[in-house]
Amino acid sequence: MPEWLKKLLNKFEDPQSMLEHSYKELECQVINLRKEYAASKAREMHLERRLADIENSPETTALLETDLIKQRAASDALRNSMYAKEAEIQKVYTKKQVSIARQKSGETHSSDPTRVTLIIIAIMTAWALIGIFINIKGH
CB 113, CB 107: distance < 8 Å:
no
Single out the residue of 87, 101, 95 nearest to residue 21, CA to CA: 95
Is residue 120 a part of any domain in this protein?
A: no
Q: What pLDDT is attached to residue 120?
A: 83
Weakest-pLDDT range from 10-14, 56-60, 131-135: 10-14
In whole angstroms, how large is the CA radius of gyration of the chain? 26
Whether 116 contacts 13, CB under 8 Å: yes
What's the whole-number average pLDDT of the chain?
84
Is 88 inside any structural domain?
yes
**pLDDT digits over 52-111, tens only?**
887 888 898 899 999 999 999 999 999 999 999 999 999 988 888 888 887 788 755 455
Q: What percent of the chain clears pLDDT 70, i.e. is strictly above it?
A: 85
Which distant-in-sequence residues (6+ apart) come within 8 Å of 25 by Cβ?
A: none
Amino acid at 49: R
Distance CA 47, CA 40 (A): 11
Question: Does residue 93 form part of some domain?
Answer: yes
Euclidean distance between CA atoms 43 and 47, whole angstroms: 6
Q: In Å, how far are 7, 8, 9, 117 from 4, measured between CA atoms?
A: 5, 6, 9, 14
pLDDT of residue 66: 95
Domain membership flag for residue 82: yes
Consecutive H or E run containing 129: helix 115-138
Q: Which pLDDT value is given to residue 139?
A: 62
Q: Is residue 133 part of a domain?
A: no
Structural domains of the chain, count: 1
Tell me if 98 is assigned to some domain. Answer: yes
Domain with 71, as residue range(s), is 15-108
> Would 136 be classed as within a structural domain?
no
| Minimum mean pLDDT range among 11-15, 56-60, 113-117, 119-123 | 11-15
pLDDT at 26 over 60: yes
Q: Residue 29's pLDDT is what?
A: 94
Q: Is the pLDDT of residue 124 over 90?
A: no
Residue 31 to residue 13: CA distance in whole angstroms = 29
pLDDT of the residue at 55? 84
In this structure, is residue 9 part of a structural domain? no
